[in-house]
Every structure is written in C-alpha cells, then in structure tokens.
Amino acid sequence: MSATKKNMLCAFLVAVSVVLGYVEFLIPPVIPVYGLKIGFSIFPLLYAFFELSPKRALIIGIIKAILNSILFSGLMSFAYSFTGIIFTVVGMYTLYSLSRSFSEIGISVLGSALFQAGQVLTASLILKSIAPLLYLPYLLLGSIACGIFSGTVIKILRTRVSLKK
C-alpha cells in the first residue's frame, strides 16, 4: 500500500473516531467515576496500530484528541486525552515490540489501563492533589473490561477487513 493511500486511510479513521467519540459523548456516564467509558473512539486507533503502524496510530489519536476537545468536550479535556493517548500508544508499542506472545486483547487491555493512568496522573498534576489517584484502582478494573471488549472487536475486524495479506 502506498504512503498516500495510508495517509488517506488515516484521515478516514480519524473521521470514524470523531463520530464514534460523539456517539459516546451523547451517552451519559452510568457510573459516577471520571473517565470510565467503553471508549468506542479507540477502535480506529487500535485498528491503525495493528494494520498500519504504531506511529500512525499515535497521529490518529492526537488529531482525534484535538478535534474532540474543539468540537465537544472543551479545551480543558485536551490535556487529559492527550496524555492518555501518548501513554496508551507508547505503552502498547513497548509491549508489542518486546513480545509477540500477546494478542490484540492483551495489548488493548494494557492500552486501556494506561489511558486511565495517564488521565488520572494529569488530573492529579492539574489539581495538585492525590485525590484523583484514589479512583485509579476502580478505573483500572473498569479498563480491563473495556480493553477486552475493544480487543475482541479489533480481532474480529482484522479477520474481516485486513490490509496485510
């Protein structure tokens, strides 16, 4: 696949991600804990991570964070999602390059857990308080469920729509 085609696919994935993020924004949080969401908008990023490259996944994540904060959630939330995305992609890339014994599910669980960790650390730094850290265990447990879910979705998606032949 040529670089232009890949760039085009990235732009397409960003668009899908923003729309999924909007759908999620419409659903009010069920559990009163910050940041605990299924995270539909992570699907395109995960897809790009496995099918294109981690670098492109990182770019998609950053553009998605910028667009989401401008369109829906306000600029304040940019700091949170930005650190979250950086943590996620860097962590997933490290695990992915260290060992091939993890499937999409394991990598996505790690990504999801690191996203929460990144957000909570940002909140702690901004509020200069350890209080947000107290939510981390709940967020981590929740992120396992979210990670298994999104990992399974990506696994199925990759068997249906694969770029690597």
Partner 1 sequence: MKRADLILILIIILISLSMLIVFSPKDNAQSVEISLKGRLIGTYSIHEDRDININASLGQMTIHIKDKSVWVSKSLCPDLLEIKQGKISRSGQSLICIPNEVVVSIVGGKAVKSVSY
Residue 141's identity, in one-letter code, is: L
- Only one residue has tokens 């924004």, namely 25
Does position 34 interact with partner 1 (CB under 8 A)? The reply is yes
What would the two tokens of residue 32 be? 């009163």
Specify whether the CB–CB gap between 78 and 65 falls below 8 A: yes
DSSP assignment of 85-116 equals HHHHHHHHHHHHHH-S---HHHHHHHHHHHHH
Q: Judge whether 26 and 88 are in contact, CB under 8 Å.
A: no
Tell me which of 38, 67, 148, 157 binds partner 1, using CB under 8 A: 148
Per-residue binding letters, 49-88, with partner 1 (x by CB under 8 A):
-------------------------x-x---x--------
Residue 29 lies near partner 1 (rule: CB under 8 A): yes
Q: In whole angstroms, how close is the CB of 163 to partner 1 at the nearest point?
A: 22
Of positions 20, 109, 146, 154, contacts partner 1 by CB under 8 A: 109
Cα separation, 74 vs 68, in Å, equals: 8
113 binds partner 1 (CB under 8 A): yes
Q: Which residues bind partner 1 (CB under 8 A)?
A: 28-29, 32-34, 74, 76, 80, 99, 101-103, 105-106, 109-110, 113, 123, 126-129, 131-138, 140-141, 143-144, 148
